[in-house]
Amino acid sequence: MKKILDSLYMISGIGEAAVFVIDKQDGYCLIDTGIFKRTNQLISILESNGHPVNKLRTIYLTHCHCDHIGGTAELVKSSGAQVAAHSGDIPFILQEKVISGPYHDMMIQEQRVMKQFDCVVSRVDITCHDEENIQILGGLKVINVPGHTPGSMALYQPDKKIMFFGDVIRNHPKRGLVVGIPERFNVDTEQVKVDAARLLDYPIEYALFSHGDPIIGNASAVIQKTIHLH
Ligand SMILES: [Zn+2]
Ligand SMILES: [Zn+2]
């Protein structure tokens, strides 16, 4: 568990996508929960870093892909935590619908496997909306970025200038910063570029990606050197 700032930590290695931990007064929240079947590992990392599972209050899901939501059902069972997601992805998270676009067939497969392993999220308690302010980490703004999935959400903390990019931009170990890649995972890759431009309009000190190492300090300048969208 890597400390990013006071009250903010990152856990990598629970599958492909990062899990972020945010402390609050009476416990803590998670952003995403890693891949299914690895939840025991996630819980033991949390517990050995002073975050017992019974203090987990809310799970914010950036979007419906299984490497981001996989541990949710199990964590809810052991903690009673609430689940929050953007309205656009809730039907996919609950497996009421299958996403359209290039990812459709893979999503059918993903949903089947999650069902088989009893990892389907059974309810979403909190519906998030674009531009809404979540009262954690001193205020986190929801930004709907619909190119990756219809209800994908990025989150932005304006005082400390922290951006949680979700899957809009990745920091690939070999290729560096990339927008909307791999394309087969997006419902609309052109829209992902629009989404990325919207996110990069914010001043960013700390750039946190679901895939890849974070950029700590002066992130706007670093990203704008590599990525040209305008
Ligand atoms: Zn994704
Ligand atoms: Zn992802």
The first and second tokens of residue 188, run together, are: 């609309």
* Cα–Cα distance measured from residue 51 to residue 9, given in angstroms and rounded to the nearest whole number: 11
- Collapse the DSSP code of 79 into the 3-class scheme (helix H, G, I; strand E, B; otherwise coil) and give the result: helix
Peptide bond just before 182 cis, omega within 30 deg: yes
Distance 224 CA to ligand 1 centre (A): 23
What is the pLDDT at residue 69? 97
> Please, what are the domains in the chain?
2-226 (3.60.15.10)
Q: How confident is the model at residue 94 (pLDDT cuts 50, 70, 90)?
A: very high
Q: How confident is the model at residue 101 (pLDDT cuts 50, 70, 90)?
A: confident
pTM exceeds 0.95 = yes
Handedness of CA 17, 33, 56, 96 (dihedral sign): positive
**173-223: pLDDT as tens digits:** 999 999 999 999 999 999 999 999 999 999 999 999 999 999 999 999 999
Looking at all shown ligands, the one closest to residue 35's CA atom is: 2
Q: Give residues whose Cβ lies within 5 Å of ion ligand 2.
A: 17, 167, 210
Q: How many of the other CB atoms lie within 10 Å of CB of 176? A: 11
Q: Where are the alpha helices (DSSP H) in 70-186?
A: 72-79, 90-93, 104-116
What is the pLDDT at residue 230? 59
Distance 6 CA to ligand 2 centre (A): 25
Mean pLDDT, to the nearest integer, of 75-95?
A: 97
**36-65: pLDDT as tens digits:** 889 999 999 999 999 999 999 999 999 999
Looking at all shown ligands, the one closest to residue 152's CA atom is: 1
Distance 69 CA to ligand 1 centre (A): 10
Supply the DSSP symbol for 184: G
Distance 50 CA to ligand 2 centre (A): 27
